[in-house]
């Protein structure tokens, strides 16, 4: 079993990505229905996914917007 927090490049900076859970760990939806066991599951870390608890990549667009906003403020 392994759990890892991923890091991704975004707009020239590193952002926290999803959690990778490896090793066939049982994962359940919020209504307690289990997902099919898999060797690796990517779990949301930002709380914005539309398919919770799985990651749908929403963290990336949110991080891009935050970075651009911060860079505009520095210019």
Q: pLDDT tens, position by position, for the chain (75 residues)?
A: 888 888 888 878 888 899 999 998 888 888 899 988 889 999 999 999 999 899 999 999 989 998 889 888 875
Identify the three-state secondary structure at position 70: helix
Q: What pLDDT shows up at residue 75?
A: 53
* Confidence at residue 50, expressed as pLDDT on a 0 to 100 scale: 94
Residue-level pLDDT at 71: 87
In total, how many domains does the chain have? 1
Bond preceding residue 53 cis, omega within 30 of 0: yes
Domain assignment of residue 7, given as a range: 2-74
Structure-token pair, residue 37: 């066991």
């Amino acid at each position: 079993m392994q759990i890892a927090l991923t890091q991704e490049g975004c707009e020239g900076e590193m952002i926290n990505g999803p959690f990778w859970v490896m090793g066939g760990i049982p994962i359940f939806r919020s209504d307690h229905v289990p997902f099919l066991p898999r060797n690796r599951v990517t779990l949301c870390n930002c709380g914005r996914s539309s398919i919770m608890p799985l990651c749908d990549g929403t963290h990336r667009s949110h991080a891009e917007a935050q970075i651009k906003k911060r860079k505009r403020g520095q210019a």
